[in-house]
Amino acid sequence: MSGGVDSSVSAALLRDDGYEVIGAMMRFWPDAKRVDTFDSCCSPDAAYEARRVADSLGIPFYLLDYRDVFEKNIIEPFVNEYKEGRTPNPCVLCNSKVKFDHLVKKAKMLGCDFVATGHFVRRIDTPKGPEFHRGNDPKKDQTYFLWGTPRESLEKVLFPVGHLEKPAVRELARGYGLITAEKPESQDICFVPGTIAEFLSERIKPQMGAVVDPQGNVVGEHEGTQFYTIGQKKGMKLFHSHLERYVIALDTEKNQVIVGTKAECNTQTLEVRGVNYLVDVASLPTRVMAQVRYRQLPSSATLVQADDSSFQLEFDDPQFAVTAGQSAVIYDGSRLLGGGFIRERVLSIPSMQFRENISI
């Protein structure tokens, strides 16, 4: 229970279905440092609201201390990715390394049969086992974050609101009289107090450097590569500010931000590593739908090659701002097949073939 409306309604639905429900929240915020700035999900205030929801539903509630687990599995990799010029999505690691790994194991130790969350994901049980499918609300589908779920955890996970659309969830919350019924959605990274730039500045010393074009010509200056991401066009001090330029790559070794036109930010071929599949590798289709950014519809692609540790995608149409560190997630129709971390992109630039190769 994150203190939001989706997990609150999930708990209520499970209770009404006859399950013995235990509410739990993972704590990762510090004892004192800037706690007042935590205003997202899974914050001290959210814990208070989750406990009130549990009380109103007549179920027990526990706050589980996961600070060390978060630091090791989420926060440290998050910072290291930015140091290496990549842009991570910590929600992916939270689900794969914490919720559906550590928390599932904890639930088993406590004698629980399942871990349920408020994700907008549909679980479909088949003779061959559970499958994860895109949620019925296309604006809220969250399968993109779940590709890293360990296969052995699939049968242990439930998604009570995955078949619903968001307005229906809020209507149910009103019917249950839950205090979270009208709570706005959080868009923040839950463990970051304040802004990402402030958070990174405390852990990575900013170092100014050059902004260059694909040919290596200096066209401006930047305040630290960790403050930029692929596709960004604001925040750079360009010598010719009238030109529209986008970040197309980051070179942390040279401390350079490389910029180009919007067309030069397109990618059609990419390498994905650190993969996890929810199906057998041998059963993967050649033609898939692939998603390389949350809040983006999947696009048609060819799975050129796939093994236990990596796969390569070739999209039918160029994709804008494919970003190293983000996830590439593959589907067969609505079914989630798996995914991995984007580590290599090939950018087609008219004057040259610019290749970004970042090892995992």
Q: Where are the domains of the chain?
A: 5-176, 205-261, 264-357
If DSSP codes are grouped into helix, strand and coil, which group holds residue 249? strand
**From the candidates 91, 112, 190, 265, which is the catalytic residue?**
190
90, 245, 248, 354 from 266: Cα distances, Å: 24, 13, 8, 11
Question: What pLDDT score was predicted for residue 38?
Answer: 47
Please write the tens of the pLDDT for every residue from 232-254. Answer: 988 788 988 778 899 999 999 99
Question: What pLDDT score was predicted for residue 355?
Answer: 47
Give the separation between CA 39 and CA 54, rounded to whole angstroms.
20
Taking the model in full, what pTM does it have?
0.90
Angle at 109 between CA 105 and CA 110, to 5 degrees: 120
91 carries an active-site annotation: no
Is CATH 3.30.420.40 what the domain over 5-176 is classified as, yes or no? no
Please write the tens of the pLDDT for every residue from 154-213. Answer: 999 999 999 999 999 999 999 999 999 998 887 667 778 778 888 899 899 889 999 999
Is CATH 2.30.30.280 what the domain over 205-261 is classified as, yes or no? yes
Question: What pLDDT score was predicted for residue 34?
Answer: 47
The pairing of beta strand 246-251 with beta strand 157-158: unpaired
**From the candidates 91, 94, 112, 265, which is the catalytic residue?**
94
Contacts of 228 (CB under 8 A, 6+ apart): 222, 235, 236, 247, 250, 257
Which residues, given as ranges, of the chain have pLDDT below 50? 34-38, 351-360
Give the separation between CA 216 and CA 249, rounded to whole angstroms.
12
Q: Look up the CATH number of domain 264-357.
A: 2.40.30.10
Half-sphere exposure of residue 271: CA atoms within 13 angstroms, side-chain side: 14
